[in-house]
Amino acid sequence: MKSGLHFLVAAKRCEIDELQQLARTSALVNVTGRLVHGLQRERGLSNLVLGSQGARFTEARAQQITECQQIEAELRACLDCMDTSATPTGNGARLYSRIAYVLHGLEALPGLRQRVESLSWTSRQATDAYARLVTGLLAVVFEAADSATDPEVSRLLVALFNFMQGKEFAGQERAVGSALFVTGRADAGEQQRLLHLIESQERCLQVFVDFASAEVETLWRQSQESTTLAELERMRRILCTASHGTALDASLSQTWFDCCSRRMDSMKAVEERVAGDLLQVCQEKVAAANADLTAYNALSAAPPSGTDGMSFFEDAAPTPGNPALGMATQGFGLHLERSILELVQEQAHRLQTMGDELDTVRASLNERKVIERAKGLLMAHRKLSEEAAHKMMRQMAMNQNRRLIEVADAVLAMADVLPEGPR
């Protein structure tokens, strides 16, 4: 007959499997972040090439493509190590679907690069194309965060995802601004896009701060070099306040690109710190779980305790500070029965605490899902761009003095009666 200890050991093995899967996923997130950073820089350089009609930045872009190809090879090697034959748990199906989408995009990447090289695409087309691939890569990180079963790991993943998303908006800002400067002409549509990107990155970075550790938040504050930010704000004003159609100083394209790149490189250092913390936490938790498993196995080899099993009903009442583990641990020896019961109750309390913490952490991810669904609904019904849909929801929130998530819930609730836009 299988004992309670047998199933306690089985539970610990399941926990170890989940933690090891989290460790593998964290490694995938790490290399994904590096590829995103490389593609963001490639996108900015591509816009400079297109804006100058191939007269400038071609060598720098070629070097960046080589670097991205090397990181892409690392990502593919990481994906090859994933055990796709095992039955996925949680949102494994969504994660695998996101990965399949990304691989399709990577297969198409040489074609995108060729269109930039042949100058057959506009800067806007190139920016949108790179953004689609980066968005796919970030969706992999999002699913990794959404699937985490450990609250500390989940918190790190949520912080990392929002930081990477904010950095992506900063990368799009670099690309759009580069194109505006190098073409030498202000454009009202692209100026509105810049304002949306600036606001979006600030929103993501605030969520990052909410979930980051105090040490990482301090590192982030310290990384914001004042002269770089001052220069960035100065050039933002030049770009965003120029009247539509007026001339821009094309020589500032390099200055703008370098300034944005310095900021993004400093952001990359913070991103690497969070990714490193993530891997370390996973490794520490796997080691601790393995130590617990060793202790459990030692208990199974211990001699029978000789008790009558009534300790199950004789435990002290739950204490305020430990409601699920109201056991007095004084006054008796290390009996197997008592030890197992302690372990079971300890495990139950820990899992309950983890569940409560996970609910708190995932609230941020769930809000994002709802807001994105509401934006998608407005885009479909009103034929709006992503920027316009978000601006509409934000304006509704301000007018009604409500949170953005509340407006998103209301939009989804009215899905069946939303008017169709012009066709």
| pLDDT at 229 > cutoff 60 | yes
Which residue, chain included where needed, has tokens 């938040």? 217
Contact 140, 95 (CB under 8 A): yes
**How confident is the model over 254-281, as a mean pLDDT?**
92
By percentage, how much of the chain surpasses pLDDT 70? 81
pLDDT of residue 158: 86
pLDDT of residue 337: 47
pLDDT band of 324, cuts 50, 70, 90: very low
Helix (H) or strand (E) holding 126: helix 123-147
DSSP 185: B
pLDDT of residue 369: 80
Which residue, chain included where needed, has tokens 């990577």? 106
Give residue-wise pLDDT tens across range 366-377: 788 888 888 888
Chain-centroid distance, C-alpha 230: 28
pLDDT of residue 32: 93
Give residue-wise pLDDT tens across range 166-216: 999 999 999 899 989 988 999 998 998 899 889 889 888 988 998 899 999
Contact 174, 44 (CB under 8 A): yes
How many angstroms separate the Cα of 170 from the Cα of each of 269, 284, 389, 417? 15, 33, 20, 36
Which residue, chain included where needed, has tokens 């992506």? 168
CATH 1.10.10.10 placement within the chain: 335-417
CB atoms within 10 A of CB 353: 12
- Please tell me the distance from the alpha carbon of residue 174 to that of residue 168, in angstroms, as a whole number: 10
The CA angle 330-332-335, to the nearest 5 degrees, is 125
Domain 335-417 bears CATH identifier 3.40.50.720: no
Which residue, chain included where needed, has tokens 């070097």? 63
Give residue-wise pLDDT tens across range 135-161: 899 988 888 877 777 788 888 888 888
Half-sphere exposure of 10 (CA within 13 A, CB side): 6
What global pTM score does this model have? 0.74
